[in-house]
Copies of this chain bind each other. A is one copy, B any other.
């Protein structure tokens, strides 16, 4: 039942198990990019490792290599030109399947130990991964380090902890003894084997190639499944490094490295063929509603865990920290230029305005003051470029342009020159105002730095609208600002109905678009924005089955 790597990482696992039960703050992977923690040369080593990849082949000894593909275009304008192996789908699937039995035999503790070793090594490569995340996604460096490194690792570990929590409660063996009155009891030995359901496909997104990949990758792996990672074509490198590390650990353990492989395709039809192959039994997907819905409609042989679009929202009814609220919201809207699946899009304010510690503020005051807060926060170019990062896709750039024709522009988006990356497309948020009735404007996700201040008749209408946005359009995050308990309670009930996590009166250093592993559930799985959460027991329990056998014993 034990394994050297399980023993090695047991203290981390135990602490993670305690953390998911108590849900306080905890992390084993320091988020401070400090040389004292990660080593004096860690930053330079990471940069050097990144530079060494540029223009080269990323060698992975996978089966069925038919060619080499370079698909990445850096939002910072840096030439990457890294070539990844394009492998035959059948070869990847067959290799994944043939690696599964030995992985099953390693047992739950062995699998968990090996996953924790992978995460530990990934953690030590955080600076290299940060470079890869930054250059492929357009995130600012600090965010790329934290969200792409330690925070993503936290989410991976969290999934492993949930997997262990479920698997460890299944005994490997039992003795069943049923009394038979005066006769001797019936006595049986029963054995219970945890069996992964089959090949897991993890489809990454272009903005968070590790944070949104690690939960599915490690949940599937720990529960006994081979995993094929299919990254977004524009953010392959962070996934490729991760796969490389996983394969290295497997090989060291005498296991088949093809248990974890990377799928990079020229033709998107190959992703669809892979996703619908009968051997693929689970799919973790983060991305568009269009492809997510296609997967749910067509990959019916697989359990699909999908994080899709939503309309995140905040209701402002009143506040006793007006400036803190505005600063908080300005940061939320600015961080990675709104390219987070958790960024607020609709800020819902009653037509009559709100009461604050700075006196009554009209609807227009709130909109104008938020615009000012954004301008003030982003006035320093160094701060602005560090927080905003670069715009990840052409589609988002186009949406920003188009946004200026939607509703009343309270604050226009500006292009900022990045001091270090002249070709980087850096944009400040556009803030719009509209009436609740203008549903076509704000009721669909407009991914990127685009937010609406939405006018409702009153606070009750604001809360009703929030509930409807969550229920009908989906949301990963919701916020409420109010000094009145009954309003907070009404919004709380709305959040239960819509199935959205709620942040109340955030005015300091926590932001509605941030969720911390082991404590905050990311998504709930209860509204159209996501059918699963990072992480809960539902995220892992369906990824394996228990196959029993029984026989009489004397």
Residues of A within 8 A of B (CB): 21-25, 101, 104, 165-166, 169, 171, 174-180, 186, 188, 190, 192-193, 195, 197, 296, 300, 492-493, 495-496, 499-510, 516, 519-521, 524-526, 533, 536-538, 541-542, 545-552
Task: State how many angstroms separate the Cβ of A61 from the closest Cβ of chain B.
Answer: 27
CB-based contact A552/B508 at 8 Å: yes
Task: State how many angstroms separate the Cβ of A113 from the closest Cβ of chain B.
Answer: 22
Copies of this chain present in the complex amount to 2
Knowing A22-B171, A177-B25, the reply to whether A190 touches B508 (Cβ < 8 A) is no
Contacts of A169 in B (CB 8 A): 21, 165, 537
Complex: how many Å from CA A405 to CA B549?
35
Complex: how many Å from CA A500 to CA B546?
9
CB-based contact A519/B22 at 8 Å: no
Contacts of A188 in B (CB 8 A): 510
CB-based contact A552/B495 at 8 Å: no
Task: State how many angstroms separate the Cβ of A92 from the closest Cβ of chain B.
Answer: 20
Given pairs A502-B547, A538-B542, 13 additional interface contacts (CB within 8 A): A21-B171, A23-B176, A24-B175, A25-B177, A188-B510, A195-B526, A496-B547, A499-B547, A506-B552, A533-B545, A537-B537, A537-B541, A538-B545
Contacts of A536 in B (CB 8 A): 541, 545-546
CB-based contact A186/B510 at 8 Å: yes
Contacts of A499 in B (CB 8 A): 195, 545, 547
Can you pick out 15 interface pairs between chain A and chain B where the beta carbons lie within 8 Å of each other?
A22-B171, A169-B537, A174-B519, A176-B519, A186-B508, A186-B509, A499-B547, A500-B547, A501-B548, A502-B548, A508-B552, A510-B552, A533-B546, A541-B541, A541-B542
CB-based contact A503/B550 at 8 Å: yes
Task: State how many angstroms separate the Cβ of A288 from the closest Cβ of chain B.
Answer: 19
Contacts of A538 in B (CB 8 A): 541-542, 545
Knowing A195-B499, A508-B186, the reply to whether A176 touches B548 (Cβ < 8 A) is no
Contacts of A178 in B (CB 8 A): 25, 516
Contacts of A175 in B (CB 8 A): 24
Complex: how many Å from CA A195 to CA B507?
28
Contacts of A177 in B (CB 8 A): 24-25
Contacts of A504 in B (CB 8 A): 549-551
Q: Which B residue sits closest to A532, measured CB to CB? A: B542
CB-based contact A23/B171 at 8 Å: yes
Q: Which B residue sits closest to A183, measured CB to CB? A: B509
CB-based contact A521/B501 at 8 Å: no
Task: State how many angstroms separate the Cβ of A215 from the closest Cβ of chain B.
Answer: 15
Task: State how many angstroms separate the Cβ of A44 from the closest Cβ of chain B.
Answer: 24
Contacts of A166 in B (CB 8 A): 537
Contacts of A533 in B (CB 8 A): 545-546
Knowing A25-B176, A509-B180, A550-B503, the reply to whether A545 touches B520 (Cβ < 8 A) is no
Complex: how many Å from CA A176 to CA B508?
15
CB-based contact A24/B506 at 8 Å: no
Contacts of A496 in B (CB 8 A): 104, 193, 195, 547
Contacts of A165 in B (CB 8 A): 169
